[in-house]
Amino acid sequence: MLFADKLKYIVLVCGLAFAVLLITQQCAIFLGILIRATGPLQNIGQADIWVAGEHTYYIDMVRPMSDRDLYRVRATPGVQWAEPFFFFNTIVQLPDGKFTVVQVIGVDRQTMIGRPPTMLSGRLEDLRIPDAVLLDKVGRRRLKDVQVGDTLRLNDRRATVVGFCNAKKGLLSKALMYTTYENALRFVPLGRQRMTYILVKVKEDQSVREVADRISALDGIHGWTADEMRKRNIDFILKDTSVGLNFAIMVGLGMFVGLVVSMSTFNQFTNDNLQHYAVIKAMGARSRTLIGMVVVQAMTVGLIGYGLGVGLAALFTRTVRNQANELVAFIPWELLVVALVPMLLCVSLGAFVALRRVLRLDPASVFAS
């Protein structure tokens, strides 16, 4: 009956599709933010342990350490190697005089530990040239499409672009600028406490957990395994920012819209057709037949709305990715299940309200002319 009532059918499908789109898209962006929060960690696969000042909660919010801390870590039993890693935001001046924020990443000159995962143009070895920097592809766009050989200025120091790379950015990153650790210290002078992170590789016969604990036992610094560091970053976003709450509110609004639309439309539709349900009941339809009628109609529009909603959300995510946009969104298959649950809840509640009226209907009302 509902499918033939085109207006209500379309309103119901559109309402549910919008709700599912809102839920899926917001969750996808939220997941994208969580993944992006750990972007810099994903770029570095060589290190087993990240060492930073105590009480470091997020990769962009760090209290630098001194060279002495590096020596202490290197002297810790079980450590195969420990290298300084520089990670700090600063201002870069463009050739046209404008400026923007870049994230300067300083890697060890010899081992290149912390290097970008993929080179797009130029050679990694060229980073050893004095004042040389590599830019990631999004950074290149933000820096007005600079070319290899162009010169930039950072804190009154000259930096020469020697190539471009691909690397995952952090949540607060605008553009990534790779250089050697020594260059980084020149570009961003921090004083005596100048080492943001120490990357540690554990000897093969040693437990990463135990070595991390040994490092954490040292005064003023802490060692986190790569997994712990990722979790710490995600926890910071979830617990110490209102990002999670804001997204939860949006998802809640999506559910509310879906619920209101499905319940009110179903209720209206049921009211309009009560007499027909009464006739069908009088003709001998059993309760299970009536339940089946309502549920099939509800589930069909629900699944069509769900399909449209996740389809639009996927289209949105694809568009965002294609445009290499700042906005990140990620739809794993688990999210499709997560979006299905509130949709089923909305539709089930709508159907439940409708069913209560239908099942309580007095078939004798068919004779009331």
> Which residues in this chain contact other proteins in the complex, by CB under 8 A?
1, 3-5, 275-276, 279-287, 289, 362-364, 366-369
Min dist CB 142 to other proteins, Å, is 57
Min dist CB 317 to other proteins, Å, is 37
The residue (of 101 and 364) whose beta carbon lies closer to other proteins is: 364
Q: Which residues contact 309 (CB under 8 A, 6 or more apart)?
A: 16, 17, 18, 19, 20, 21, 22, 23, 24, 339, 343
Min dist CB 14 to other proteins, Å, is 19
Rounded to whole angstroms, the Cα distance separating 230 from 113 reads 18
The residue (of 7 and 337) whose beta carbon lies closer to other proteins is: 7
Rounded to whole angstroms, the Cα distance separating 21 from 16 reads 8
Burial of 21 (0-12, 13-18, 19+ CB in 10 A): buried
The residue (of 178 and 277) whose beta carbon lies closer to other proteins is: 277
Nearest to 115 by CA among 51, 63, 181, 161: 181
The residue (of 338 and 366) whose beta carbon lies closer to other proteins is: 366
Min dist CB 362 to other proteins, Å, is 8
**Which pair of tokens denotes residue 80?**
């195969």
Min dist CB 25 to other proteins, Å, is 34
Min dist CB 336 to other proteins, Å, is 32
224 within 8 A of 232, measured Cβ to Cβ: yes
Min dist CB 308 to other proteins, Å, is 22
The residue (of 179 and 297) whose beta carbon lies closer to other proteins is: 297
Amino acid, single-letter form, for residue 99: F
Burial of 54 (0-12, 13-18, 19+ CB in 10 A): exposed
Rounded to whole angstroms, the Cα distance separating 291 from 272 reads 17
Tell me the Cα Rg of the chain: 29
The residue (of 253 and 274) whose beta carbon lies closer to other proteins is: 274
The residue (of 14 and 274) whose beta carbon lies closer to other proteins is: 274
Burial of 229 (0-12, 13-18, 19+ CB in 10 A): buried
Min dist CB 276 to other proteins, Å, is 5
Min dist CB 18 to other proteins, Å, is 25
The residue (of 62 and 282) whose beta carbon lies closer to other proteins is: 282
The residue (of 18 and 269) whose beta carbon lies closer to other proteins is: 269
